[in-house]
Chain A
Amino acid sequence: MAVQKLPLAKAINASLRTALENDPKVLVMGEDVGKLGGVFRVTDGLQKDFGEDRVVDTPLAESGIVGTAIGLALRGYRPVVEIQFDGFVFPAYDQIVTQLAKMHARALGKIKLPVVIRIPYGGGIGAVEHHSESPETLFAHVAGLKCVSPSNSSDGYWMLQQAIESDDPVIFFEPKRRYWDKGEVDPSAIPAPLHSAKIARQGSALTLAAYGPMVKVCMEAAAAAEEEGNSLEVVDLRSMSPIDFDTVQRSVERTGRLVLVHEAPVFLGTGAEIAARITERCFYHLEAPVLRVGGFHAPYPPARLEDEYLPNLDRVLDAVDRALAY
């Protein structure tokens, strides 16, 4: 595969195809992933090329999907399962938290659970209830799981490759509102480590840190701020567990200010953890309290209200202003 400009959904599709080609133990499982190619077409064409035995349409039972994936992993397979939407993962939450996350430790390391759980997540597509949520904190909080989220096509391709190669369970959060954003994918590149953050834009006055769907918002906020004379750095965190605090720390030591942005509710969110850690690490570098922009402590609203619920350019820049005012 040559260098291509692909939408995120197609980059993930290409990544799954590569994994299926490279390792006969890789399986793709989920609801409607076969003939339909998934409701977002992320698995489009895979069953046709790799067969029903490797690209498996499952019964509509999320706990069953994850529970059987654990059994398949114990048998030596590397299942990549799809949860159709973020809000549907909770029937599987018990299997993920009590079984998948802990089994390696319970066996004192003697067994491995290379299971990837892909979850299209986040809002912004005008969907009905349970189709727009950002539950990443609920997984990042659980030892034994790793959580990542690509923000662009290249990361979509490479981070999924790395997640599948990982011997640990990885929850792979796909920003569904970015599925159609195109970006370059170079299959011969040397990817950054899976859990490393990346400086997406350099700046000097303040650090914006985000992952998944909010990276784009932050990049746009940084562009807008530049017009107003403020130089913002943008860190694409990429991984919510583990979090690359070192990269954030180095950035904040330069800028002195940090604003964290995610769609998930602010309360006890990823941003809260980063704020606490960075405050501890960078106390003498900080010129302002670490601020957070995110969802509210309310159920994800009906679609007609989601633009007000989701962090956008204005809300990010409002926080930037407040931080710069110190």
Chain B
Amino acid sequence: MTVESTAARSTARRSGTGGKGATQAAPGGDAANGRAEAGEATATGEPRKSRKPAGKASASAAAKAPGKASAKAPVKKAARSAAKTSSGSTPKSASKTASKAPSKNGSKAASRSTASSSAATNGAKAPAKRSTKAQATSSRAAAARPARGGDSARGTGGAPVEPELVQLLTPEGERVTHPEYDVDLSAKELQGLYRDMVLTRRFDAEATALQRQGELGLWASLLGQEAAQIGSGRALRPDDYVFPTYREHGVAWCRDVDPTMLLGMFRGVNNGGWDPNSNNFHLYTIVIGSQVLHAAGYAMGVAKDGADSAVVAYFGDGASSQGDVAEAFTFAAVYNAPVVFFCQNNQWAISEPTERQSRVPIYQRAQGFGFPGVRVDGNDVLACLAVTKAAVERARSGEGPMLIEAFTYRMGAHTTSDDPTRYRADDERAAWEAKDPIQRLRGYLEREKLADSAFFAAIDEESEEMGRHVRDAIRTMPDPDTMAMFENVYADGHALVDEERAQFAAYQASFESESVSAVGEGK
């Protein structure tokens, strides 16, 4: 609603005149044409009528004088207590303590792979996706609505028939085909995907252990989601741009982001800390769904530039309920932006099952926005790679956005602060364990003799080495300088920040000379 119809007031009303002028509609009913305000101008031209008597003024001035004089006496500074001094030197405890409240935090990723994985995608020649085909899958699935109340529908047995998903590798590691999506990878490329997933899982496990040891304040594990992240991450080119949540450690690995950078925010030494443009991998975003709009906007910019890069927005099943995600779908659709919406449906948003987020499979939402959506087996790295490749190619060729729902499972807790035993059953996890993404690919590699025992042994050794590296890096990661909190608040500076920085520095310096003598004085 706008002011257009109400616009302007032509009759002055002002205090003191006593008259209430009539409000008139502006000619043409348009705020831009209407004169909003004659009131102030008229007001000033008139004699002021409602002046206050000056009587109380002198009284209050007299009453005040003595108090004011004494107030001007210089105030003695209280002696600084020893407590203050010691608090200044107490080692930071906050970052070492696990936060009690489950927070929507996540973190970091794997170390870099210099080797083969990026090559893995080169051979994948997925056909450009037709939106009608992708949607055909969805309409068939529409019948499978979650039961009213949601919760009863979840679980390993007795669940309603789930819509079909794109799968190229069965849970048993058997290679199958799909009419629309395929990849053709060499043994070396397949080995690269396996290595990516193993090392990502190892990095993740290491971070969880480091949290338990107090080295990290929090960790958001990706356990179980390796295929979704590696498959999609390896579908990208260096010039593509990724907007992650806080759990995309595997995608970060694919983008060659130094994994120790990812640990910083979970240790509490920074709130992000890497240069997003170094690897075209944006900062982790903790507020749920916010980054999906950034991805849509970035993609709008790519289109304006006439570039053929693609943008990938990662988010989860919980985020699918956020207005920002819906708005991102709208913007991407109406501007035909080259963005792939990659939703990892890991079945749980902390304690809330997907049925609390949606009455339809998430990928079906795309249809209402006017672009295709597809569900892929999120524990099948080949299918995730194939579908993402197709979506990215679609974006590059100017066909606009696409939604991928990677159907997977969060094997661990939401974060290290979470306790999933309060809200989900063990047998559910066991059922998903049978679909493990790494075992699945390993089964395939072994059955087809695409990798030998020496290969697996070498990966295991590399994994151990990575664990050592991550442990060493975190334990030697320095705390930031205290004054760092004042840095980079603004790009062009800000007078108040400068003032407060100087004041705080002076305050801190004031302790230096007395910190020794103050110790032992008690409170």
| Complex-state Cα separation, A71 to B282, whole angstroms | 10
8 intermolecular pairs with C-beta atoms under 8 Å apart: A38-B32, A71-B296, A71-B299, A95-B324, A99-B290, A125-B3, A146-B490, A243-B496
**B64 located at the interface, meaning its Cβ lies under 8 Å from any Cβ of chain A in the complex:** yes
Residues of chain B with a CB closer than 8 A to A176's CB = 36
Q: Choose from A195, A312, A324 the contact partner of B495 (Cβ within 8 Å).
A: A195
State whether A177 touches B48 (Cβ < 8 A).
Answer: no
Q: Contacts A71-B300, A75-B298: A109 and B40 contacting too (C-beta < 8 A)?
A: no
On whether A111 and B275 interact (CB within 8 A), knowing A85-B2, A98-B287, the answer reads: yes
- When C-beta atoms are compared, the residue in chain B nearest to A73 turns out to be B297
B36 and A84 contact, CB distance less than 8 A: no
Chain-B contact segment, one of A62-70, A151-159, A248-256: A62-70
Instruction: Tell me, yes or no, whether A308 is within 8 Å of chain B by CB.
Output: yes
Out of B3, B72, B282, B497, name the residue touching A284 (CB < 8 Å).
B72
Contact with A along B1-44 (1 / 0, CB 8 A): 11110111100011110001001000000011011110110011
The answer to whether A314 has its CB under 8 Å from any CB of chain B is yes
Q: Within A54-91, which residues are at the interface with B (CB < 8 Å)?
A: 58-59, 61, 63-64, 66-77, 84-85, 91
Tell me the smallest distance from the CB of A197 to a CB of chain B, in Å: 11
Q: How far is the CA of A274 from the CA of B102 in the complex (A)?
A: 38
Identify the 7 closest CB pairs spanning chains A and B, nearest first.
A325-B57, A71-B297, A67-B293, A75-B301, A68-B297, A64-B327, A125-B36
Whose C-beta in chain B lies nearest to the C-beta of A126? B9
Interface residues of B (CB under 8 A from A): 1-4, 6-9, 13-16, 20, 23, 31-32, 34-37, 39-40, 43-44, 48, 50-52, 54, 56-58, 60-61, 64, 72, 243, 270-277, 282-283, 285, 287, 290, 292-302, 304-305, 323-324, 327-328, 330-331, 334, 487-492, 494-497
Bound-state CA distance A223–B304 (Å) is 52
Cross-chain contact B7 with A126 (CB below 8 angstroms) = yes
Bound complex: CA A179 to CA B48 (Å): 26
Tell whether A108 is near chain B: CB-to-CB under 8 Å: yes
- The chain A residue with its CB closest to the CB of B284 is A106
5 more contacts with CB within 8 A, not counting A105-B488, A125-B7, are A106-B270, A110-B274, A243-B496, A312-B43, A315-B15
Name the one of B34, B40, B295 contacting A217, with C-beta atoms under 8 angstroms: B40
**Which residues of chain A have C-beta atoms less than 8 A from B4's C-beta?**
39
Contacts A63-B323, A166-B492 given: A324-B48 contact, CB under 8 Å? no
**CA A220 to CA B12, docked complex, whole Å:** 16
Q: Is A304 an interface residue (CB 8 A)?
A: yes
Q: Inside 8 A of A242's CB, which chain B residues have their CB? A: 494-497
CB-CB nearest in chain A for B24:
A126
Decide: B287 and A94 in contact? CB cutoff 8 A. Answer: yes
Q: Which residue of A lies closest to B25 (CB)?
A: A126
Residues of chain A within 8 A of B54, CB atoms compared: 321, 325
| Contact residues on A (Cβ < 8 Å of other chain), bracket | 35 or more
Q: Which of A64, A84, A95, A314 contacts B48 (CB 8 A)?
A: A314
Query: A67-B296, A70-B297 known; A313 and B48 CB under 8 Å?
Result: yes
Q: Is A34's beta carbon under 8 Å from chain B?
A: no
Q: Distance in Å from the Cβ of B109 to the closest Cβ of chain A? A: 17
For the complex formed, measure the closest distance between the CB of A100 and the CB atoms of chain B, giving whole angstroms. Answer: 10
Chain B residues in 8 Å Cβ range of A21? none
Minimum distance in angstroms from A294 CB to a CB of chain B: 15
Asked if A131 is at the interface (CB within 8 A of a chain B CB), the reply is: yes
B305 touches A144 (CB 8 A): no
Q: How many Å lie between the Cα of A53 and that of B337 in the bound state?
A: 13
Task: Given A127-B3, A312-B14, answer yes or no on A146-B494 (Cβ-Cβ < 8 Å).
Answer: yes
Set B14, B60, B489: member contacting A143, Cβ < 8 A:
B489
Given the interface contacts A61-B331, A146-B494, does A106 sit within 8 Å of B298 by beta carbon?
no
Q: Of the candidates A98, A109, A110, A179, which one forms a contact with B276 in the assembled complex, judged by CB atoms under 8 Å apart? A: A110
Q: Is A124 an interface residue (CB 8 A)?
A: yes
Please state if B31 and A39 are interface contacts (CB–CB under 8 Å): yes
Known: A69-B297, A125-B36, A126-B23. A325 touches B58 (CB 8 A): yes
Identify the closest chain B residue to A44 (Cβ): B32
Q: Does A35 contact B (CB under 8 A)?
A: no
Asked whether, in the complex, the Cβ of B37 is within 8 Å of the Cβ of A124, the reply is: yes
Given contacts A64-B324, A313-B43, contact A108 B272 (CB under 8 A): yes
| Nearest CB on B from A242, distance (A) | 4
In the complex, whether A276 has a CB less than 8 A from a CB of chain B is no
From A99, A217, A307, A308, residue with most partner B Cβ within 10 Å: A307
Q: Is A180 an interface residue (CB 8 A)?
A: yes
Q: A325, B60: Cβ atoms under 8 Å? A: yes
Q: Is A317 an interface residue (CB 8 A)?
A: yes
Question: Which residues of B lie under 8 Å from residue A102 when comparing CB positions?
Answer: 271
Residues of A within 8 A of B294 (CB): 67-68, 70-71, 74, 99
A134 close to chain B: CB less than 8 A: no
A216 touches B7 (CB 8 A): no
Could you tell me the distance in whole angstroms from the C-beta of A110 to the nearest C-beta in chain B?
4
A167 touches B57 (CB 8 A): no
Beyond A217-B40, A312-B43, is A168–B492 a contact (Cβ under 8 Å)? yes
